[in-house]
Amino acid sequence: MPSNFLDAKDTAILYHLDKDARQSNSSIARKTRLSKEVVNYRIKNLMKRGIIENFYTIIDSSKLGYTIYRIFVRFENVDVEKEEEILAFLKNLKSIGRIVLLEEDYDVVIFVWAKNVFEFKEIFSEIMTKYGSFFRKRLTTMVTNICYFINNHLFNTSDLAMKEIGGKANEFSLDEADIKILQILAKDAREHLLNISRTIKISPNTVKDRIKRMEKNKVIIGFKPKINAGILGYQHYKIFLGLTDVDPAKQIGLKEYLKLNKNIISITEAIGRADLEFEIQVKDSTELHKHLKELRQQFGTLLKDYKTTLVSKEQVINYFPQ
């Protein structure tokens, strides 16, 4: 079977994982009318083929008192070996949860979780002290809100389910056990209750109850598979929009329009660089331009300009860096 081929059974399984990656194989089997053994085999095969890279947990850092900062960096005098060295250093920094490689004005964007701007400054200074001489230019932005959507373009579905982090939130108190559970689930959303129980030395039922409580309080927003869209023949783009009017009330129609687009997988609001951002997966640049043309036709008076950026690789996903 070609690595970029999904049959009906694979598609059905992947869709239900995209809705809730932590649900059991038995649950997926019931929903897809397949046997548990078939579901288990096909999930393992999707991972073996590289279509599923891993499973991660979306955690709302704002509920924990954290803000997400981004550092866009353009390298200079950096060969492949030096780039790998820099990326390895960044991966080992405890406050960094995402590293995304780009093909545009900037080479990489680094996501930093920090309690406040002073904590961010310490992390930023550590990076600059070590590798600042290799940064031709840089730009810092602050994320205020991210909405994630089902990968409807992969499944030919119209599921409007949405997972959202950020915005104004009351801080939620965590104890040591909660923190350990989040650290485990952030790296593997499908980690078995028994393994978590053994690691942190509390009963499986207590672990289960704590996870449910954190879901109820919107600390845990959802569990997702990291799908390699490139293997499936898709290109991943980030679009930065400049708007003529940044009044949130006037952006509602635009955001609702973007949510209905099956190819759009997330919408981001941030301070700095753009007024609104979204990520989209398409077969090629021709399809991308088709979507952008339709967007201009619908919201030409609101759109001032836009910048398209090809996302070449996402190195790290961890919504609860230590």
Token pair recorded at residue 268 = 């981001």
| 264 φ/ψ sector (left φ>0, alpha ψ -120 to 50, else beta) | beta
316: pLDDT strictly greater than 80 = no
Query: Is it true that 1-49 and 61-144 share their CATH fold?
Result: no
Q: Counting every residue, how long is the chain?
A: 322
How many Å apart are CA 254 and CA 169, to the nearest integer? 24
Q: Which of 196-200, 256-260, 308-312, 318-322 has the lowest mean pLDDT?
A: 318-322
Q: Provide the angle, in degrees to the nearest 10, between the axes of the packed helices 8-19 and 36-48.
A: 90
Domain boundaries, the chain: 1-49, 61-144, 146-166+228-316, 173-216
pLDDT of residue 2: 56
User: What pLDDT band is residue 171 in, cutting at 50, 70 and 90?
Assistant: confident
pLDDT of residue 8: 96
* C-alpha angle 172-174-177 in degrees, rounded to nearest 5: 155
Q: What is the pTM of this model?
A: 0.93
Alpha-carbon distances, residue 297 vs 80, 241, 261, 277, 290 (angstroms):
41, 15, 15, 18, 11
CATH number belonging to domain 61-144: 3.30.70.920
State the average pLDDT over residues 268-272.
95
pLDDT in tens, 93-111: 989 999 999 998 999 999 9
- Residue 91 near residue 61 (C-beta atoms within 8 A): no
Q: What is the third-level CATH fold of 146-166+228-316?
A: Alpha-Beta Plaits (3.30.70)
CATH number belonging to domain 173-216: 1.10.10.10
User: What pLDDT band is residue 141 in, cutting at 50, 70 and 90?
Assistant: very high
- Of residues 20 and 167, which shows the higher confidence score? 20
pLDDT in tens, 2-44: 557 899 999 999 999 999 999 999 999 999 999 999 999 999 9
pLDDT of residue 3: 58
Domain 1-49 = CATH 1.10.260.40: no
State the average pLDDT over residues 248-262.
92
pLDDT in tens, 200-228: 999 999 999 999 999 999 999 999 999 99
Burial 133-147 (b: 16+ CB within 10 A, else e): ebbeeeebbebbebb
- Residue 187 near residue 64 (C-beta atoms within 8 A): no
pLDDT of residue 320: 87
Average pLDDT over the chain, rounded to whole? 94
- Residue 143 near residue 70 (C-beta atoms within 8 A): yes
Where do we find the tokens 């994982």?
Answer: 17
pLDDT of residue 212: 97
Rg of the chain (C-alpha set): 20
48: pLDDT strictly greater than 70 = yes
